Amino acid sequence: MASSSLKISVLVWVDILALYAISTLITYLTNVWKLNYTHAAAIVNLFWGFTAILPFTMQYVVDTLIGNYRMVCLSNFAYSIGLGFLAMSTPPVLFRVAGTCSEYKPECVGTGQKTLFYTALTLIAIGMSGRVTSLPVLDAEHKNSLGEDMHEKYYFYLGIFALILVPIIGAIAIPYIKPWSIRFGITAICSVLATLVFLTGSYEHDSARGSPLTALFRVLVASASKVFHKCPNDASELYQGNGTSDNKIPHTRRLRFLDKAAINLTDQQRNNRWNLCSVTEVEETKSIICMIPMCTTFFILGVVSSIGNTYFLEQANHMRHKIGHLSVPLTILIFFRDQAKSQFASCYFRIASSGSSLSRYAARVGIAVSMIFAVHCCITAAKVENRRLYVITSHGLVDKPKERIPMSMFWLVPQFFLLGGLDGISHKSINLFVSDHGPKSMDRYMNHFAMAVFGVGNMGSVLSVYLVDKISSRGGNPSWFQNTLNHSRLDKYYWVLAALTAANFVLYIFMAVWYDRKVLKPEEMDAPTNNQSMESFED
């Protein structure tokens, strides 16, 4: 019987297959529902944004209520049901019950199918978030228990080999499954089977252990309840709390209004944890709040990443997919992006954990490099889109949006390469930044916090398209976003994103200097990179 390690890996394999199927949602919405590409991209980007934000909340649920094993089980059920609903939302499956037709046409998509579709996206987002939160922890705990068992290690390496093979199969096989109901249905069946396989394994059933995030809420509540009290000038008068000196953080004079949470008015307050907090808890809260201005500069990276992962694919969908007489699936671009992301992330990890002088500034330099990637990605996308529009005009295809233009989709390879570099380096460097400068008690939240920043950027991409649409259509001018790509001017939008990203890069430099001078302590600025925290981000 396969080991528990292999059973955990099966869930990861299904995730990969499902991601390749879900990555074509924008094509499904434009081809079957006949939505314009901006509407379809908005739905997809909101889904990915919601999926990226949820793990932060899921971690709190794990810590306070159900533990990692139960979270994986619940997320598996949500994931499987969600993928099943997604397959059922396609017209051929329930057309008799819904009273519609069985063809892939918008008139065959009734209210019932739409309800199933949006319910499916919600459940899939919950399932993905739950797995992201708890599956790596469960896997790590199980690997630590392997010891020298060579039989278990054999299955472990077999799982690693499959992680290389499955993406290749997914990129090549899934696009050739034309019926959408079957394409989504296969992933749903695989998810159900993987869940059943997982449940037959033997794992440690951990329990809820409490969340350090509660301390942050307590500091905010306690400081607000004493808003009219004056902080003492002598920090020694503040409540220091219990515990050894090794666990305590010295007082700082930044964000002094939060110090009110540590004012001990009466001896009875010590029994009410929501009225009195220790200086260490206050300082940990300060460190998180001080990171917020820095995180606002990461927002535009999430916008660029989100736009690239949706609009680039929609452009490729209308281009030629052949090399000579050989037809190449669209998902090969997704595979190429993922490989670029993996290689850039691996290269960044090696530099950041090398122990050299550069590794001391790995997080901040990595964020800057990812912004440079973002600028070049937008510029490259604008130039390629300008070339695509020229080909459309020269061949008289402006009013023929359903025809493929005589331009290879491999023109998009450079921007997918840059997009992979942007995603790989930015995710790693932002993770490292928030981990190094956030409180150590909240290490397991910091990765999810960084992911949530990108999730907000995904949602922000919807707002950016809406604002550019309204501004570009002022004065009776045609909007840059029309019902079809052939009539739109995405090249101009990409130039706007390039300018915003460049401005954001300049803002980030100023914010990084401010953060070094006003927030970080001198010994923190000179401290070497924490290799242990870097290892937690290695793929």
* Structural domains for the chain: 4-199 (1.20.1250.20), 213-288 (no CATH), 297-535 (1.20.1250.20)
pLDDT at 531: 43
Distance CA(217)–CA(522), nearest Å, equals 29
Cβ–Cβ under 8 Å, residues 101 and 171: no
Q: Could you tell me which of 245, 416, 434, 247 has the C-alpha nearest to residue 340?
A: 416
Say if residue 246 is exposed, middle or buried (CB neighbours under 10 Å; 0-12, 13-18, 19+).
Answer: exposed
Cβ–Cβ under 8 Å, residues 238 and 263: yes
3-class state of residue 32 by DSSP? coil
Contacts of range 228-232, beta carbons closer than 8 Å, 24 or more positions apart: 229/260, 229/263, 229/265, 231/256, 231/257, 231/259, 231/260, 231/263, 232/263
Distance CA(148)–CA(150), nearest Å, equals 6
Confidence band for 43, pLDDT divided at 50, 70 and 90: very high
Q: Directed axis angle between helix 4-22 and helix 150-173, to 10°?
A: 10
3-class state of residue 102 by DSSP? coil
Residue 338 has pLDDT above 90, yes or no: no
Q: Could you tell me which of 485, 460, 490, 419 has the C-alpha nearest to residue 46?
A: 460
Query: What does pLDDT average to over the chain?
Result: 82
3-class state of residue 323 by DSSP? strand
Distance CA(312)–CA(415), nearest Å, equals 8
Q: Is 177 left (phi over 0), alpha (psi -120 to 50) or beta?
A: beta
Confidence band for 270, pLDDT divided at 50, 70 and 90: low
Confidence band for 525, pLDDT divided at 50, 70 and 90: very low
User: Model confidence over 213-231: pLDDT tens digits?
Assistant: 888 889 999 899 888 888 8
On the CB side of 490, CA atoms within 13 Å amount to 25
Distance CA(410)–CA(392), nearest Å, equals 16
Contacts of range 248-256, beta carbons closer than 8 Å, 24 or more positions apart: 248/278, 248/279, 248/280, 249/279, 249/280, 249/283, 249/284, 249/439, 250/279, 250/283, 251/279, 251/283, 252/283, 252/286, 254/286, 254/290, 254/518, 254/519, 255/286, 255/289, 255/290, 256/231
Alpha helices in 297-361 (DSSP H): 299-317, 331-352
pLDDT at 537: 44
Q: Directed axis angle between helix 180-199 and helix 67-88, to 10°?
A: 160
Amino acid identity of residue 168, one-letter, is I
Distance CA(99)–CA(495), nearest Å, equals 46
Q: Which two tokens mark 84?
A: 């099943």
Residue 8 to residues 83, 135, 159, 191, 202, Cα–Cα distance (Å): 19, 8, 9, 12, 10
User: Model confidence over 111-146: pLDDT tens digits?
Assistant: 999 999 999 999 999 999 988 888 887 777 666 655
User: Model confidence over 363-418: pLDDT tens digits?
Assistant: 888 889 999 999 999 999 999 999 999 999 998 988 888 888 888 888 999 999 99
Question: Pairing mode, if any, of strands 405-408 and 319-320?
Answer: parallel
Q: What is the pTM of this model?
A: 0.82
Residue 523 has pLDDT above 50, yes or no: no
Residue 450 has pLDDT above 70, yes or no: yes
Give me the residue label for tokens 């910091």: 446
